[in-house]
Amino acid sequence: MEQHMSEIVTAAFIVIGDEILSGRTKDKNIGHIADILTSVGVDLKEVRIVSDDEDAIIDAVNALRARYTYVFTSGGIGPTHDDITADSISKAFDLPCEHDVAAIELLRDYYKGRDIEFNEARQRMARMPKGATHIANPISIAPGFRIGNVHVMAGVPSIFRAMLDNVLPTLETGAKLISTTTPCPFGEGIISTPLGQIQKDNPEAIIGSYPKLAESGNFMTDIVVRARSEEVLERTTGAVRALVARLLTEQDTGQ
């Protein structure tokens, strides 16, 4: 993993699947990839969930691969008629979608060892855009693939996670965004104005405030400061903590 301390590396994630949009399946990959990319200094800038529809997939892939350093996808790479990701990505890149020779061999060996017929449907899982490289799948063998800056992975969470682990060492990563969280017993209505001033005074930091409804019915907030340097993080967090301390001595707890 090559690290560029000064460069900002960005990413988008595309979840492909009608089952997420219908509510039948609850996505478990968005939160995971967000955590992982943040931890290695890649900024996840956008997520899209699209249906099993060729035009929808092509539009999303082409819009996002032009805009961000990396694109990741999940879903639609199995053997059934509704698994159209490989074809759609190939069309997005204007490349033929072919049975990859190395993937065919991997799968042939795998099924042979389990005495299972390597039928036409299973061979479908070896299809990918011409020139793509594999993303290894230690769980069910059928590989994901990378073409250009787009990484195509399975939707089943255990396989998605294993594939993402295999992709990470190949990524260029940026200066890691580090953060602090300061819990604040006051709602946004109290902290908003002085917090806005701290943001203005510390433009290199990114300050977010996240309201939580306490059991008492009052709002509290978590104030999160993010920065790419320890120095900016410490200075800004110090200002936030001083604000909370001041409010604790001055304010009622009304929201």
Is residue 142 within 8 A of residue 126, CB to CB? The reply is yes
Q: Which 80-99 positions form the footprint of its own copies (CB under 8 A)?
A: 80-83
- Specify the DSSP class assigned to residue 81: T
Residue 68 engages its own copies in binding (rule: CB under 8 A): no
- The answer to whether the beta carbons of residues 221 and 187 sit under 8 Å apart is yes
Residue ranges in 136-175 that form contacts with its own copies under rule CB under 8 A: 139-140, 156, 158-159
Per CB under 8 A, does 185 bind its own copies? no
21 lies in the site for its own copies, by CB under 8 A: yes
CB of 131 to its own copies, least distance (A): 26
Instruction: Please measure the distance between the N-terminal and C-terminal CA atoms of the chain and give it in whole angstroms.
Output: 46
User: Residue 208 corresponds to which amino acid?
Assistant: G
Site string for its own copies, 186-225 (x = CB under 8 A): --xxxxxx-xx--x------xxxxxxxx-----x----x-
| Contact yes or no for 73/152 (Cβ under 8 A) | yes
DSSP 118: -
Instruction: Decide if residue 78 touches its own copies (CB under 8 A).
Output: yes
Binding pattern to its own copies, positions 230-249, x when CB under 8 A?
Answer: --------------------
Site map 97..136 versus its own copies, x via CB under 8 A:
--------------x--xxxx-xxxx-xx-----------
Position 79 contacts its own copies (CB under 8 A): yes
Q: What residue type is 127 in one-letter code? A: R
Q: How far is CA 41 from the centre of its chain?
A: 12
Number of C-beta neighbours around residue 138 at 10 A:
11
Least distance (Å) between residue 190 CB and its own copies? 8
